[in-house]
Amino acid sequence: MDSSTTSPTRVRHGVVALATLMAVLLYLDRICLSVLFRDMQPDLQLSDDDWSVLLSAFFWTYALAQVPSGWLSDRFGPRLVLALYILGWSICTGLIGLASSFAAVLWLRFGTGLAQAGAYPTGAAIVARWVPLESRGTASGIVSTGGRIGGALAPVLTA
C-alpha cells in the first residue's frame, strides 16, 4: 500500500468524529426518557407496568429492524439513510414531550427504536468506507465509546 491509503486524513478523522457524535446522540436519546420517568408518570397517569412496556417497546422495533435497516443503508447509501435515521429518532423523541397518552408514547417509542436500529450498522458501513482495515478496530472502538458517553451524559442533562 502506498502512503496515501494508509496515512490518516482530516476527512477520515472527521468521519470517525461524526460517527462518534452519532453514537453520543443515539444513547442520549435512548436513555433520557428513563431518567424523566418520575416527572412524566403523574402527567400521563402511567403505572410502573405501563412504564416498563414503554421502555421495552423501543427494543421491540430496534431488534426487528436491525437487518432491514442495514440493507436500506446498502441499497440507498449510508449518508442519506443515516441522516434519515437521525432525523426520525430525533423527531420521535422530541414528540414524546408533547404526548398526552400511553398510546402516543408507545407509538413514538416504536418509532424511535425503528429509526435507531440502523444507526450502528450504517455508521459501521461509513467507517469501513473511510478507515483502512488496520485502523478500523480502533475507529470502531472510538465510535462505540461515544455511546457510553451519551449514556453517561443522559442523566446529567435530563435530571
Indicate which CATH number applies to the domain containing 25: 1.20.1250.20
Which of 25, 26, 57, 54 shows the shortest CA–CA distance to 40?
54
Q: For residue 29, give its domain range.
A: 3-158
What pLDDT sits at residue 8? Answer: 65
The whole-angstrom separation of Cα 140 and Cα 159 is: 30
Write out the three cell numbers for 31: 436513555
C-alpha cell at 22: 452519532
Closest alpha carbon to 115 in 88, 95, 91: 88
Number of domains in the chain: 1
pLDDT < 50: residue spans in the chain: 1-4
Q: How far apart are CA 47 and CA 96, in angstroms?
A: 17
pLDDT at 5: 53
Q: What is the DSSP string of 102-125?
A: HHHHHHHHHHHHHHHTTHHHHHHH
What does the pLDDT read at residue 1?
A: 45
State the number of CA atoms in the 13 A half-sphere of 40 facing the CB: 22
φ and ψ at residue 13, rounded to 5 degrees: -65, -40
